[in-house]
Amino acid sequence: MLFDTPTYFNHQFPTPQYLGAKHTHLAWINRFIPNQVTTALDAFAGSQSIAFLFKQLGFKTITNDFLSFNNQIGLALIENNTIQLTDDDVNLLFSSAKNKKDFQLIENTFTNIFFQQNEAEFLDNLRANIPLLKNRYKQALAYTIINRSMTRKITMGHFGHTQALQYASNPERIKRNRSLIRPLKAIFEDLLSEYNHAVFDNQQDNRSYHKNILELLPILEKIDLAYFDPPYCDSHADYQSFYHLLETFTEYWQDKQFINGIKRYEPQRFSGFDKKREVIASFEKLFELAEDIPHWLISYNNRSYPCVEEFEKILSKHRQVKIEEKTYANGRGGKGSVAGSKEILFICQPKKKHFLSVIGQG
């Protein structure tokens, strides 16, 4: 029957501001999801928009990202089925922290780079209060909303530049984006209902992981579909530089150095997919580990390394491969999505087995 499969599209994914996010490609990618999927993996989840689509489709959804702030989105919107932030929770987050002397990292590191001192103090105070929320999903929602608030307040939505305060004093830029001069507290309050409404129960035991995918795959079982959206190597793939502040805020690093003009943490987390010297070996390992997953969808870009033809050769060792593509009409920034470049989708199915007939003897 037409309505046998439950769908949950009355719950909308909050619009991300994330380089390479796939929320603008959801309808296109959805066309190529195979039938009879019950469990799906979003292996490089980033903003979690594809994982959210899987959850809307009623799949048991396994989502993963090696960056902690992205994992918090997965906990808040994918693994979490019912928990929302209440007014009392928000009042607690905004209250004066009792241990604020232990939480001064943002003020000491990022004042006059991305924020004025009062906003940096607000972030430290809120970060001190997040652990006071008694439920891990409430904590995850708090991280998710305040991190999204920071990207809304900063021009271009990332932290790979040092022009944030200059842009926030430019009347023309303010006219285009009032959030540049709005307090983070007000932005958080505006986003709250949007994120609370995005929490829903799809009647599945969904899970959000925070691992390198090469470590996660060996412990997963019975996945029908894997969606791979790796960093587009050689094409703006340095997410740890673009979003270092969100990772620093979430982890509240005590054992890192903060280097260069943007105060990026060092050393960075190991990816294996963002540097030319490592990426081909990492893909080979990824596909070996995913051999038991029958269906793969892989997002890519025609400006990435290795090139599309070479990548198809690597894939063809493991799967039958079909290629779909979309051309970007406008420059969108980040992850190779500039005007004239192409978003590539590799649709990978198990190779057909061929059997030789054996003629009976004697």
Instruction: Output DSSP code: residue 315.
Output: H
Mean pLDDT of 28-50: 97
Over 70: is that where the pLDDT of 329 sits? Answer: no
For the domain with range 1-13+22-82+203-237+273-352, which CATH number is right: 3.40.50.450, 3.40.50.300, 3.40.605.10, 3.40.50.150?
Answer: 3.40.50.150
Amino acid 19: pLDDT: 86
Decide if pLDDT at 72 tops 80: yes
Q: What is the CA radius of gyration of the chain?
A: 22
91 CA to centre of own chain: 28
DSSP 8-state code for residue 97 = P
Per the CB < 8 A criterion, the answer to whether 67 and 243 are in contact is: yes
Q: What is the 3-state secondary structure (H, E, C) of 63-90?
A: EECCCHHHHHHHHHHHHCCCCCCCHHHH
Whether 333 has a pLDDT exceeding 60, the answer reads no
Distance between CA atoms of 8 and 57, rounded to whole angstroms?
A: 7
Q: Considering only 115-129, 181-195, 206-220, 346-360, which range has the smallest mean pLDDT?
A: 346-360
Domain spans, the chain: 1-13+22-82+203-237+273-352
Contact 158, 332 (CB under 8 A): no
State the pLDDT at residue 2: 40
pLDDT for res 207: 98
Residue 332 in this model has a pLDDT that exceeds 60 = no
Taking only the tens place, the pLDDT of each residue in 248-262 is: 999 999 999 999 999
Question: Where does the pLDDT of residue 358 fall: very low under 50, low under 70, confident under 90, or very high at 90 and above?
Answer: very low
Q: Mean of the per-residue pLDDT values for the chain?
A: 92
Confidence of residue 5 (pLDDT cuts 50, 70, 90): low
Query: Does pLDDT of 229 surpass 80?
Result: yes
Q: Is the pLDDT of residue 49 over 70?
A: yes
SS3 for 298? strand
Give dist(CA 46, CA 294) in Å, integer: 23
- Report the percentage of the chain scoring pLDDT > 70: 92
